[in-house]
Amino acid sequence: MQEAMSVPNGKKRLVLALAGYGTVGTGLAKVIEENRDWIIERSGSEVVIKSILVRDVKKPRNFPVPAGATLTDDHEALLNDPEVDVLVELMGGIEAPKKLIAAAIRAGKHVVTANKALLAEQGLELFELAAEHGVHLKYEASVCGAIPILDTLKENLAGNRIMRLVGILNGTANYILSEMTSNKLDFATALKQAQELGYAEADPTLDIEGLDAAHKLCLLTRLAFGVNYPFEQLPVVGVSKVEPEDIEFAREFGYRVKLVGQVQEVDGKIEAGVFPTLVHHTYLIARVGGAYNAVRLEGNACGPIFLHGPGAGDLPTASAVLGDILSVARGAYPNNTGFVRQVPPLANIMSPDEASSKYYFRVIVRDVPGVLRDLAGALAEQDISIAQAIQKEKGAAEVPVVFLTHEATARAVKAAVEGMKAKGLVVREPVYYRIL
């Protein structure tokens, strides 16, 4: 960090350069202005924004540029300014932010970012670079907004071995599923409503197809288990194909459908993924509604811990960014990865086909005698047994049969589905989801 500059009251000050001045950037400026005195009380430093990198300096802003700060479209103005202590990267994307962050680290500046895609896909070399230069690369805001899950894993629970972590990691998907559950909306209507409220982007692909949650799960896996589970190898299923009838059938069994990211160690291997899951209504995570996020983890010393809060938005995300900034202001020693080793070893990955879980099935069959017996037989051929079953609309030509199974591997479930289809037992593609 550059040598702190003195101010008239004798306190230090930390000088920031922002890259990006959109929703989070303007939220950060607002919180810094509103909480200026409180920030000094907490950190002993005044935090000031000196320069803001934007694409168009003439574009109107939602929040005024802070007093004393200037807008610029010149990257070098941030990197070459010796007064700037911290680069706050809020641009989004991968290649341009990566180049900017790497240059800032080489210039001896600390970095705070909310860029989960960059850190999940290409972050390891940035952590290694930050260690070489002895600077902070902090990223609390990249996962679950205001929820302090990353520092919880890096600091507070550092003495624990984490055994399992399950989270609702994307507020957009959770809002959509909540509306489908509570107000019986179909997916398209719930998505449109989320977009109108600002919870979903015009192109919602990253959110509804589970990719945003997968980026976050990669970062959580590194911090919780000290290993790298490559993003491109992570099994991911989104919510775009979840149908209202499955939400209703799940409710009849006492479950809620949630998009969860899960990672756990099983027999020395890491099993992880993002997928729609049935969660029993008595679990706290099943009750997380709207655009909120939540994480449940289990440590061998701390036991189960549940964290819940707003997962996105200007002020919640700015809160996490500011927390990282104040850690730098206090002169904390960089603890970027939570481990002495900055580049974690590759995880010993369990094949997704070997992952074991209980399952929910919905199959459409012809209403003929013995069909449930034949379905049970197709499952039994793969050593899968039915725990509960219901059949609706008896008397119609085609009827749904819905059942829950005991524990089974994903490989066995896929083989059972192929068996049902080969025997002509189903008239549509079966629907099946894991049960938490």
Q: For the chain of 436 residues, list the mean pLDDT of each consecutive stretch of 10.
A: 39 90 93 95 94 90 87 92 96 94 97 97 96 96 94 94 97 96 95 91 94 97 96 96 95 96 96 97 95 96 95 91 95 92 93 96 88 89 91 74 95 95 91 96
pLDDT at site 8: 34
The annotation status of 19 as a binding-site residue, yes or no, is yes
Report the distance separating Cα 42 and Cα 20, nearest Å. 26
pLDDT at site 398: 84
pLDDT at site 406: 96
pLDDT at site 310: 92
The annotation status of 4 as a binding-site residue, yes or no, is no
> Regarding the domain delimited by 5-142, which CATH topology (the fold level of the hierarchy) does it fall under?
Rossmann fold (3.40.50)
The annotation status of 22 as a binding-site residue, yes or no, is yes
pLDDT at site 61: 80
The annotation status of 25 as a binding-site residue, yes or no, is yes
The annotation status of 268 as a binding-site residue, yes or no, is no
Residue spans in the chain of domains classed CATH 3.30.360.10: 149-311
Report the distance separating Cα 140 and Cα 138, nearest Å. 6
The annotation status of 20 as a binding-site residue, yes or no, is yes
pLDDT at site 2: 41
Report the distance separating Cα 139 and Cα 112, nearest Å. 6
Strands (E), 199-291: 255-266, 269-280
Using DSSP, state whether 131 is helix, strand or coil: helix
Tokens matching residue 39: 């920030």
Residue spans in the chain of domains classed CATH 3.40.50.720: 5-142
Return the CATH number of the domain spanning residue range 352-435: 3.30.70.260
pTM of this structure: 0.92
pLDDT at site 393: 66
pLDDT at site 308: 96
- DSSP per residue, 98-114: HHHHHHHHHTT-EEEE-
Question: Quick check: 279 and 436 in contact, CB under 8 A?
Answer: yes
Provide CB contacts within 8 A for 398, sequence distance 6+: 364, 365, 366, 367, 427
Residue 227, Cβ density class (10 Å: 0-12 exposed, 13-18 middle, ≥19 buried):
middle
Return the CATH number of the domain spanning residue range 149-311: 3.30.360.10
pLDDT at site 9: 40
Using DSSP, state whether 155 is helix, strand or coil: helix
pLDDT at site 7: 36
* Residues recognised as catalytic: 216
pLDDT at site 1: 40
The residue to which tokens 């894993």 are assigned: 153
